[in-house]
Structure 1
């Protein structure tokens, strides 16, 4: 069987890709050596270009036999266009009570997913956007999960009412209480994962929550926004990402922006990834001192 034809029962597969389940080891080895195909998952190969996110998700589900898998978590997030880190094993959810196979290239979750929280995308079963966001809030690192919620809300990929409904249907699922808390802490105006991480750290330390993207009028009468601000204390926090200020002109413009803000009698403190993640106690002491907390 050619490696780019669908296996029997995989009707409609050619609508999206040239993938197939292949069992002929000789054919596989020969095609791999010649560079004609590439492995996507155990027993699933693709001819030509790198598989896209839909194809990776389909391959992950296709290799799980007998337990009705659903693409979920980071795998579903990538298909749906949510912002999650790249790399790592694909993730699928199987019904509660099923045995989790041991696979280095697949991460298995076991729980019950309501029919309302599943969608079909060209033959691929995956969790809905709302349920995917809830699952990320159950399992991902806190700031990454909240950032995923914020971007989904900001891009109108999901509404808070949909998230509330998905949380209600997930009642009793491990981690749903954490998910409810993280969804509630999301602020769609946040400008970067670093800003989100800084804000969450400040609140967790017991300080008042800063205003996200606090609007001000600069000394030159132009509108501006401070990443995080304490208006009453006339204090602003700016966060420099790893790549945001990599270009020389961007550095010059940002420094001028800060000077114009300071001229409005607003004290600005600048922080980096290193401050928030590697020197967190120092970061929190600085913020606490700046607002007189």
Structure 2
């Protein structure tokens, strides 16, 4: 366990919060001889904060969390206060450790299995929806109930901007969960058309949110599709590129600032990147690079860069040598179905794909 931070809280309360991964609910408190009145007094004195009915957190800890970390904690608290409820949507996504884009919802959302007497309800601490939740999509993690990763991604895809939903879907597909099966369970739900689109376009080979955003720019721009994380090399697989257009002898590469920031070996990393790019260009690849800000907030500019790259490198009848990446295996020879078309692919995006309907 991580070391407990210093706190003004009484030792027994601090220990219980530590054991509860930042939360203390009334049943746990009673088990260890802590009365509800004592918790309420600590809340009135500003040492505890109530995140849900009968669930408390340290008031000193909350300001140290970013907005998604706060949402994750609030969601866990709300689940603890709601009998037989499961965190769902973004509240489940963040508690599964899946990637997010944008700001979290103001309040957590949980799901209860559907019964005739139940409907959607709101409280000060969150929103409760009811739905037919199959047993195999009911999970527990870190002491709370939450929907499966596939169900979480599917519920987000119902109403989130498509790019944000696709980031989650790619991560879920990479973890080998069946997003399409979850979407099939929602055939009559509002927004299911959007969720189906996201499930159909999820790519388990996209390994980071910025790669997904680059991939989505290609789709939105109606450009020829690239192969995600393909291997290239002179006579054997040497390097992986984030996206490869084999017929155009072109590639796109997403730059992550975490590769360089606050590292004692940053200069070495930069030198290795320069050497790698020189080798890739010697193979005959033309490359366009982009970062998260460009992909997330200036999509039209990124589409233009991709368009210019492909325009300047028209399709060749002799594609570059490449290998498909198989997670857990490595590079393998591509099959005929693995080859992308060298021509633009027109894709109809879901209506209102850029909007969010939380």
TM-score strictly above 0.5: yes
Question: Structure 1, residues 234-264: CA drift from partner, whole Å, max 9, x if none?
Answer: 1111111232333332222111111110011
Distance 1:138 1:82 in 2: 17
CA contact (8 A) 2:163 2:213 kept: yes
Instruction: Confirm or deny that 1:155 pairs with 2:175.
Output: yes
Shift of 1:202: 1.4
Q: How does 1:227-238 map to 2 (within 5 A)?
A: 227-238=242-253
CA contact (8 A) 1:210 1:230 kept: yes
Question: Structure 1, residues 171-202: CA drift from partner, whole Å, max 9, x if none?
Answer: 11111111111111111111221111111111
Query: Any stretches of 5+ residues in structure 1 without a counterpart?
Result: 5-13
Match of 1:129 among 149, 152, 160: 149
TM-score, normalised relative to structure 2? 0.64
Q: After the TM superposition, which of the residue ranges 260-269 and 77-86 deviates more from structure 2?
A: 77-86
What residue number does 1:71 align with? 87
How well do the aligned residues superpose, as a CA RMSD in angstroms?
3.7
What residue number does 1:7 align with? none
Instruction: Confirm or deny that 1:255 pairs with 2:274.
Output: yes
Shift of 1:49: 9.9
Bigger relative CO (Cα 8 Å, ≥ 6 apart): 2
Distance 1:126 1:196 in 2: 25
Instruction: Confirm or deny that 1:44 pairs with 2:27.
Output: no
CA contact (8 A) 1:20 1:46 kept: no
Distance 1:165 1:277 in 2: 28
Match of 1:208 among 224, 231, 251: 224
Q: After the TM superposition, which of the residue ranges 35-44 and 247-256 deviates more from structure 2?
A: 35-44
What residue number does 1:169 align with? 185
Q: After the TM superposition, which of the residue ranges 71-80 and 51-60 deviates more from structure 2?
A: 51-60
TM-score, normalised relative to structure 1? 0.76
Instruction: Confirm or deny that 1:274 pairs with 2:290.
Output: no
Question: Structure 1, residues 95-143: CA drift from partner, whole Å, max 9, x if none?
Answer: 597353253x42x263523333542538844322321221122233322
Query: Any stretches of 5+ residues in structure 2 without a counterpart?
Result: 1-11, 14-19, 30-34, 63-68, 312-343, 345-358
Shift of 1:27: 3.2
Change (3 A) 1:205 1:58: closer
Shift of 1:169: 1.4
CA contact (8 A) 2:23 2:55 kept: no
Change (3 A) 1:152 1:131: same
Instruction: Confirm or deny that 1:92 pairs with 2:134.
Output: no
